Amino acid sequence: MLRRKSSILLVLLAIMLMILPAHALELRGFPSSPSFFTLTMPGQAAPALSPSGQGRLYFDSTSNTFRLSQHGGAYIDLMGSGSGNAPVDATYVTQTPNATLTAEQALSALGTGYLKVTTGTGVLSSQAIPFPVADGGTGLTAGTSGGILGYTATGTLASSALLTANALVLGGGAGVTPTALASLGTTTTLLHGNAAGPPTFGAVSLTADVSGILPGANGGTSNGFFAVAGPTTSLKTFTFPDASSTVAVTSNTLAVFAATTSAQLAGVISDETGIGVAVFGTAPTFTTNITVPLVIGGTGVGSNITYKSTTGTGTSTGIAHQWTGGTDGATVIMTMLNDGRVRVQTNRNPFLDDSNGINIFGMNSTGKLFIGSGFSQIGTGGNLDVGDVSNAGGGSTLNVKGNAAIGATYWASAAPTDGMIVEGNVGFGTQTGFGTGLTRGFSQGIGVAPSTSPADVFQIWVADTDGAGTAGWWGRDEGGSIYRMGNNRIDINGSYFFRNGTGFTMQLVGTPTANRAFTFPDVASDTVALLAATQTLTNKTVSGAATGSTVTRGTGSGTGTIVTVANINTTAVGNVGVGEDDLITYALDANSLSANGKTIRIRAWGTAANNANAKTVKVLFGTATVLTTALTVSVADSWWVEVLVVRTGASAQDIVARLEETGSNAMDMEISTATQTDTAAITIKLTGTATADNDIVQEGMLVEFLN
């Protein structure tokens, strides 16, 4: 009965809502019947959208959710589907995670730090301490005690160094924190500015810090006059006519005074030609002698003294200067003539020793020395010594102690110590001259062979080399061996070491005792016949023309090319963990494949572990992969690789590669082409792709040139 009445009541309420749309619907139940507070809506399909200015609510039978349309808008869920769900658009901040909330941020899931809300999304995130400058913090966890913060960049704060108590703080400029002025000064110093650096404390400088006349209040005189104490107790006043006047002091020269004539100066000097020797006449008479025999031209590097014997023309043989000695100057020592010649008195044995000049020895009544234009001559019995020599003189007509340089250009060059450099040709012995066009050459005439061999000396002379008058060089060492070079031959003690001709033999000393003779049929031949039955080449390097050379097979007529080993490597290398790893690698030299047909043979070998891991071996020639083989698993396996690389053109190769296994007797062969640049180095390597360490181990690799 009550339920029926409730239904009737709901119908009446609905009718009232339609009649009175401006009034709110209010449901009230009975306190004794709590169930009357329940409003139940059956599920249904989505009705039409709400009209403009209205809302519409229904329970959707498909999604089992309350759905709402407002002002003609699309239906949206009020809450999530299922039981116990929160509203769809709600976000919760919880202390610990709650699985029933779809949009939740648990504080316990955040890291240690402070909380930050991301602008726009409202997402909470934990941030590490310290607070960054961008969030209003300092970005610092510590600073210098007594320091201050300063920006070292637009977003960076830093602590300055300790700022001394009572010190002035100086700005550091961009990127630098402030610092304290190093000094606090004293009671007697002032702060001085500095346009190029920090200011400094210093005493007041009356020259640099003060301009003009110092006022009396500041300890000055307030005027340009000053008083000095005289010989008596009274003060003496000196007045300067104007600011530009100067005062002469005892350290000044007479140049500070107005121009003074000789007559004016002579009027204040009482002993004109006395000890002071002041001369004011054009031909003065000295009343005293010049007692110190020293004449100095000046103190400068270029100072000199000029003597002039006459202002007239003068005769060429006239005497310009003359030095005398003996009793009262009765003996003429040396005379200098007007034409530049110097004559030293004859019938003497004078010795002129100037440490910076010339040493002349041995001049007597028959000796003479002329040095002038066009000739120099040393008289009979005399000699000429050059250098730092002794009074006794050298043992030859010309003696040079030191080095010498000869030539228009070489004379200014430094010759080797105790040596000589000559700019032109040099000739020795009796010879007929120099060949046409010879420059800076050496010519030596026919000489006589020595009969002895001095120790530590190699002697050279010129003599006939073939009995037909062909001159050549001969030499003799300290052991007595004779060397001959000339007429297209070189020999030692009569045995040819080399001779240009037909059918001659060159003897080479072998090891340890036997000689080997190499016969060259003619000078144009490019082959060598070994005269001995067996020849062994040990640790020899063959290069250049040896590439592509052939050898005879046995005693037959067939020949074959030489096979050479480029590299052999037997250091085992295994793979490391999962993935592909390089095994043994070799860098083939640039231009090894320099011509078509040249071939490289590569041989490699290794093992594989007995497990189920997949294993793959690759062979690479440069960047080209020429062989890829998956090895057999779950067997104790050994494998062997052979690759032939043949040049077919410039940076073009034909390649055949094969791999054989012993564990399964399997073989893989691949034929390919490559375009590796043969003028550059080419990397040859194997790689292994596996799972565990040393699933694949390469034990060695051999690289050979087949021609």
Residue 607 sits at the vertex; the CA angle it makes with 601 and 610, to the nearest 5 degrees, is: 155
Look at residue 468 and tell me if it is in a domain.
yes
pLDDT at 6 over 90: no
Cis bond before residue 130 (omega within 30° of 0): yes
Name the token pair of 582.
């390089």
Look at residue 190 and tell me if it is in a domain.
no
pLDDT at 143: 82
Residues 580 and 488 in one domain: no
pLDDT at 476 over 80: yes
pLDDT digits (tens, 9 = 90+) for 371-389: 433 334 444 455 666 666 5
Residues 572 and 667 in one domain: yes
Domain ranges, residue 509: 450-525
The DSSP code for 549 is -
Name the token pair of 289.
């002698």
Q: Which of 175-184, 214-223, 228-237, 254-263 has the lowest mean pLDDT?
A: 228-237
Identify the band that residue 324 occupies on the pLDDT scale cut at 50, 70 and 90.
Answer: confident
pLDDT at 512: 41
pLDDT digits (tens, 9 = 90+) for 637-676: 999 999 999 999 999 999 999 999 998 888 999 999 999 9
| 494, 525, 556 - which closes a domain | 525
* E strands, 373-441, in order: 375-378, 384-387, 398-401, 404-406, 420-422, 426-428
Q: What is the CB neighbour count within 10 angstroms for residue 673?
A: 11
- Asked if 639 and 617 count as a contact pair (C-beta separation under 8 A), the reply is yes
Residues 598 and 568 in one domain: yes
Q: Which of 71-75, 150-154, 202-206, 226-230 has the lowest mean pLDDT?
A: 226-230
Q: How far apart are CA 147 and CA 162, in angstroms?
A: 5
Q: Which of 88-102, 242-256, 495-509 has the lowest mean pLDDT?
A: 495-509
Residues 503 and 599 in one domain: no
Residues 651 and 668 in one domain: yes
The pTM of the full predicted model, rounded to 2 decimals, is 0.32
707-to-330, 536, 596 alpha-carbon distances in Å: 101, 21, 11
Residue 553 sits at the vertex; the CA angle it makes with 548 and 559, to the nearest 5 degrees, is: 35
Residue 387 sits at the vertex; the CA angle it makes with 384 and 390, to the nearest 5 degrees, is: 75
Map residue 603 onto helix, strand or coil. strand
Name the token pair of 241.
């006519």
* E strands, 20-64, in order: 43-44, 55-60
Look at residue 160 and tell me if it is in a domain.
no
Q: How far apart are CA 49 and CA 47, in angstroms?
A: 6
Residues 598 and 582 in one domain: yes
Identify the band that residue 507 occupies on the pLDDT scale cut at 50, 70 and 90.
Answer: very low
Name the token pair of 263.
């007559």
Name the token pair of 512.
């340890």
Q: What is the arithmetic mean of pLDDT over 594-606? A: 95
Q: How far apart are CA 473 and CA 417, in angstroms?
A: 28
Q: What is the arithmetic mean of pLDDT over 391-413? A: 76
Q: Which of 267-271, 628-632, 641-645 has the lowest mean pLDDT?
A: 267-271
520-543 in b/e burial notation, b at 16+ Cβ within 10 A? Answer: beeeeeeeeeeeeeeeeeeeeeee
Q: How far apart are CA 510 and CA 494, in angstroms?
A: 19
pLDDT digits (tens, 9 = 90+) for 163-214: 788 778 877 788 788 887 778 788 888 888 788 888 888 887 777 777 777 7
| 417, 445, 473 - which closes a domain | 445
Name the token pair of 483.
């060397």
Q: Which of 85-89, 354-358, 385-389, 421-425 has the lowest mean pLDDT?
A: 354-358
Residues 604 and 652 in one domain: yes
Residues in Cβ contact with 180 at an 8 Å cutoff, skipping those fewer than 6 apart: 161, 162, 163, 164, 167, 168, 169, 170
Name the token pair of 18.
């339609």
Look at residue 629 and tell me if it is in a domain.
yes
Residues 657 and 612 in one domain: yes
Residues 423 and 479 in one domain: no
425-to-407, 446, 537 alpha-carbon distances in Å: 10, 18, 48
Q: How far apart are CA 529 and CA 519, in angstroms?
A: 6
Q: How far apart are CA 70 and CA 51, in angstroms?
A: 8
Q: What is the mean pLDDT of the chain?
A: 74
Number of domains in the chain: 4
Alpha carbon of residue 111 to chain centroid: 50
Residues 382 and 475 in one domain: no
Q: What is the arithmetic mean of pLDDT over 434-446? A: 81
Q: Which of 110-114, 227-231, 260-264, 439-443 has the lowest mean pLDDT?
A: 227-231
Continuous segment of H or E residues that includes residue 266: helix 262-266
Q: How far apart are CA 594 and CA 651, in angstroms?
A: 9
Residues 577 and 651 in one domain: yes
Select the more confidently predicted residue: 438 or 305: 438
- Asked if 610 and 635 count as a contact pair (C-beta separation under 8 A), the reply is yes
Identify the band that residue 635 occupies on the pLDDT scale cut at 50, 70 and 90.
Answer: very high
Highest mean pLDDT among 29-43, 242-256, 432-446: 432-446
pLDDT at 643: 97
Select the more confidently predicted residue: 430 or 26: 430
pLDDT at 680 over 70: yes
| Environment class of 649 (CB within 10 Å of its CB; exposed 0-12, middle 13-18, buried 19+) | exposed
- Asked if 704 and 588 count as a contact pair (C-beta separation under 8 A), the reply is no
Select the more confidently predicted residue: 74 or 395: 74
Look at residue 215 and tell me if it is in a domain.
no
Residues 584 and 454 in one domain: no
Q: What is the arithmetic mean of pLDDT over 453-465? A: 87
pLDDT at 503: 44
Look at residue 627 and tell me if it is in a domain.
yes
Closest-CA residue to 22 (of 49, 53, 43, 44): 53
Instruction: Classify residue 641 as left (phi > 0), alpha (psi -120 to 50) or beta.
Output: beta
pLDDT at 284: 64
Select the more confidently predicted residue: 623 or 549: 623
Cis bond before residue 512 (omega within 30° of 0): yes
Q: Which residue carries 């390097």 as its tokens?
A: 541
Look at residue 257 and tell me if it is in a domain.
no
Q: How far apart are CA 703 and CA 686, in angstroms?
A: 13
Q: How far apart are CA 674 and CA 592, in angstroms?
A: 15
pLDDT at 255: 74
Q: Which long-range contacts (CB under 8 A, 24 or more apart) does 2-8 make?
A: 2/33, 2/36, 6/36
Q: What CATH code is carried by the domain that includes residue 574?
A: 2.60.120
pLDDT at 39: 72
Look at residue 665 and tell me if it is in a domain.
yes
Identify the band that residue 634 occupies on the pLDDT scale cut at 50, 70 and 90.
Answer: very high
Nearest-10 Cα torsion for 114, 118, 121, 124:
-10
